[in-house]
Amino acid sequence: MKPLGILLAAGKSTRFGSNKLLYPVIDNTPMILLCAEKLASVLPDSVAVISSELIGLTTQLEQLGLAVVINEQAELGMGSSISCAIRAGESLSQSSGGWLIMLADMPYLHSQTIQQLVNQLEKGASIVAPAYNQKRGHPVGFSQTYKNELLALNKDKGAREILKKYHEALELVPVNDKGVLLDIDQLSDIL
């Protein structure tokens, strides 16, 4: 069974100066849509968790195949968006073989990397993440084993505490994709 793709797009972009997810990165396409397109190319029935500020992109995200969920508690941070997405997936009757959690500020990530992580989850991996030059990157995938802990998240650390707690279960997938380490926090991060 395929994991449910989760695109986290409800952050504040405080270091960027404006909403970075709207910034045109490649071919004048906003960062969030580039990331959504890559995720949907591998996991077409994914969920995008957005803040109310991005409601104007709902139609475009839905046209890519993503269900759009507004995190009304986005100020609580990334963890609240993860639990919001998992609940949304369940309410949409999308049973899944776990979750692949992708950040919407990583436009240089390759679709092939997403596929490699999905393959590992489908083969029974418990927790997966890509590694470029032996450095762990994103996205991160979790099997159903971690459902209750993911649903309990409500802080800005996202799933970091779960990764620490179960570090022995983490399977690093070597990839030739520097994009797994390149998230955009400020304008100078744009390549």
| Domain at 127, CATH number | 3.90.550.10
Report CA dihedral (131, 21, 5, 128) to the nearest 10 degrees: 20
Q: What is the DSSP letter of 20?
A: G
**Residue 86, burial from CB neighbour count under 10 angstroms (0-12, 13-18, 19+):** buried
How confident is the model at residue 79, as a pLDDT? 85
Domain extent at residue 120: 4-189
pTM, rounded to two decimals: 0.92
The H or E element containing residue 53 is none
How confident is the model at residue 154, as a pLDDT? 74
- Which residues have C-beta within 8 Å of that of residue 11, sequence separation ≥ 6? 21, 51, 74, 78, 104, 105
Question: Could you tell me if 117 and 101 are in contact, meaning their C-beta atoms sit under 8 angstroms apart?
Answer: no
Q: Cα 123 to chain center, whole Å?
A: 20
The tens-digit pLDDT sequence of the chain (191 residues) is: 889 999 999 876 556 666 788 888 888 899 999 999 999 999 998 999 998 888 899 999 999 999 999 988 777 778 889 998 998 888 776 667 899 999 999 999 999 999 999 999 999 999 999 999 999 999 999 999 999 999 888 765 678 889 999 999 999 999 999 999 998 876 766 76
| Number of domains making up the chain | 1
